[in-house]
Amino acid sequence: MIDPSLIVAKHRLSRTFGSISEHRILRKDDAKFYVSKKFLDFLNEHKFKDELRDSLPFKYFLHGAPPSDPREILLEMKNFPDYIEEFLVSEQEYSKYKEKYEWIHTSLSKMIGKKKFFDETILGVLFDEWIFLQESSWIVARIKKPFKAFKIAGAACLEYSKKAFKRLVRTTVKKDIEEVLTKTDVLRAFGKWIAVGGTSVLSLLNPLVSALGGAIGGYFLLFDP
């Protein structure tokens, strides 16, 4: 999953979609990339409004970088209809994680009165990302802020180095130490921060960490590769 921070920043927009295109040409597999539907709906609704770039959701994921043109973002999405999709939380997933939504919402919305950092769109995007992290696969981001938000809301974050990230990828894709990690290179080309979640990930680590994860209501692994 691609965090909005990778597409709202002007200097990263072309690089992100360029990496997707390169991945498609070189890998020739069925992998797909996803962006939160809540964020894309927000862009569609406000794409012709001058105040969009000053809105909380845009500024939150922009994090001080020069902004992309929202219409360019949506156009790039349309250029990859079979390879990059909107991520929409299913009713089943919503029911399963309803308490977690309230958990994220309650924890983060407390900050609204103190600092104008969060609104309902941001909370919705973070909820999409949390479900994707627990149910599906990787999340790649330019900024660490979304993962800090999970920690604020009570998630357990296990942070790892570049070396540990490579080891995890080798285990995941079942490659020997001598083999080239093309998947690592692709992921690193996207962003600074990479997170992985779910019970299947913890089972790849040592038994103590795996057992710890089973006792925690929410957790994820965060890498700075």
Residue 68 corresponds to which tokens in the numbers above? 């992309």
CA distance 211 to 213: 5
Per-residue pLDDT of the chain (225 residues), as tens digits, is 999 999 999 989 988 888 887 776 666 566 788 999 999 999 988 877 777 878 888 889 999 899 988 888 888 888 877 778 899 888 888 888 777 777 777 776 665 555 555 688 888 899 899 888 888 778 999 999 999 888 877 777 878 777 777 776 666 655 565 555 556 666 667 788 988 876 555 555 554 454 444 444 567 888 887
Q: Which amino acid is at 7?
A: I
Which residues are CB-contacts of 38 (< 8 A; sequence separation ≥ 6)? 121, 124, 125, 128
- Quote the pLDDT of residue 149: 85
Q: Where are the domains of the chain?
A: 5-223
H or E element in which residue 149 lies: helix 145-152
Residue 48 corresponds to which tokens in the numbers above? 């012709």
203-213: string of b/e by CB count within 10 Å (b at 16+)? eebeeebeeeb
- Quote the pLDDT of residue 207: 46
SS3 124: helix
- Quote the pLDDT of residue 5: 95
- Quote the pLDDT of residue 213: 47
109-136: string of b/e by CB count within 10 Å (b at 16+)? eeeeeeeeebbebbbbbbbbbbbbbbee
